[in-house]
Structure 1
Amino acid sequence: MEESNITLASEFILLAFYEWPHLHFMLFVIFLLIYLMALTGNLTIFAIICSSSNLQTPMYFFLCNLSILDITLTSTIMPKLLDICLTENQSITFHGCFTQVLFFVICVVSEYFLLAVMAYDRYAAICYPLRYSYLMKMKTCFQLALASWGCGIMESLLLTGLISRYPFTKSKKINHLFCDMKPLLKLSSSSTEEAEVAILVSGVIFGFFPLVFILVTYVFVIYTILKIQSKEGKKKAFSTCSSHLTVISLFFGIILSMYMRPKSAYSIEQDKILCVLYSSCIPTLNPIIYSLRNKDVHVAIRKFRVEISRKDIF
């Protein structure tokens, strides 16, 4: 009897939207369309920036990195969720589960820091326009992007390694859309206080601090913009920040509301809705938000279309 009680899980069951089996096909169609839109939008932005000489600037270099992160994030979660909705195959292997955890944490933490780096880029461009080319040299941009990815990879390895050490013997069923850390810890038969503290500390260091840095940076940015005399100058300066501020509000608002809530306020139903928002909707909206009011991107898109049409003709 004791041996059967300590049998470790070799696979897990992702319950996903098990409460609504009659809606699975409709959910599959909706998620597939959103996933394809996210991939198409981010790949298009990436291709346009890489192929356009006018967009070889720090802001668009960081936007390329953001597109890669969004593609990776949505591709970490959506394929398995689509499989569950279409085939009802809810099982996922132990290694597959922790692969999801690994890449999810890499993407989220890296995006925290990348958004902070993009805020610094706007700060340098608006507050120190004459020194901008010196402050944001391409070598510096590579180093900042590499540091963002490095923080994500380091934190992911630490948290994933810590959580994978726990024995999962209570149950195989994960009541979530993917293998997230908190639902996984609920299945452990031992005390998970150490991991819960690590997740909370991680949320403060890798989430709250970058957010504070962004807010402080934008206080200086807004103060500088308000000192601009011409209305046209103010409007142009604000327009360069509005897209970034919108993305920051969406991303940090959703992620921090999930991981910084006390246990008493935890709700798996809310987490599932928030999961859909940050794993599919935000990666879909980011390319739209950054290109909607951006004249440089519009011009690059038109040139990109002309080049493609010429290639089709020849």
Structure 2
Amino acid sequence: MEQRSDVETVNTTDQTGGEICLTCRNLPGCVQRSKQASPILFCDLYEEGEWSADLVAAIIDKHSGERGGLISILEGIQAKYGFLPESALRLVAVRTGRSLVDIYGVATFYKAFTLEPRGRHLCSVCVGTACHVRNAPAVAEEFQRELGIQPGETAEDREFSLETVNCLGACALGPIVVVDGHYFPQVNTRQIGEIIGKTQVGLDFVEVATDERVFPVEVFCARCNRSLMDPDHPIEGHPSVRVTVSFGRKHGWLRLSSLYGSFTIESEDEIPEDTVLDIFCPTCHAELAGATDCPVCGAPMVPLIVRGGGMVQICSRRGCFSHLLDVSGSGA
């Protein structure tokens, strides 16, 4: 593989005197080199393979110096690749100056992060107390039988991953199953095959009035942890989510439906389609900006903490209906 002419090769030696690469650990085919802007070694082997050092470096640069920047960096990497590659974490250590031990400590402390590749579809079965007494263990066992994998494992074809979680914040609707961010309430073992089949076909279509995957959530600011719920301004029969927004030269209030899966909003000003909004907490006034870009349109995703564990992320672009649900508290 031809080495780039616009960068200078940096020779680094390990304790035995042999040359090493800080991103791929001197795997066969590695070409040692560094960008002129900073002394970070990376290699062509991984640019064309499992992950891109340039993309990871861009994620690191985007969040360097931010409060809580390491978590944002890890969120960005996982959003891009679906997990945290070891070599990417080594690059984070070099570029941020943080020890690899510290980075792994954060990555393993938060259950939303995973160090292993996940399947194209993630099935999360709640086995918390409320769901457990409603036969959640049998639901989890049926998923294991249908998919042929255990909690914490991914199928050989990388189509499905299975995990168990301790709570999803919807205890009254248990047993709860979440597949690719779509909630299925009061699940019994006879429904598992149907859920898997729907997942393979596609889960994007939602009918708010009748779809049992649409359910209310209670959300909080990811910065100050204050509730964003507004019972005085209900939408679709439930307290709305209250935020403030700005776009162009306008600044005003915005209310969103608290039904996960619904996209109903009300706003102080008319918001043109395709407008990307800056969204703020009405209490602490912090901008609610996360590390993840929308997988559909590329606009920033807005993180909202869900009571009981996990995070809802909604796209900040008017008219884009992308939303993600990350669950925490994995028991796998």
- In terms of fraction of residues, the more helix-rich structure is 1
Q: What TM-score comes out, normalization by structure 2 length?
A: 0.26
Q: What TM-score comes out, normalization by structure 1 length?
A: 0.27
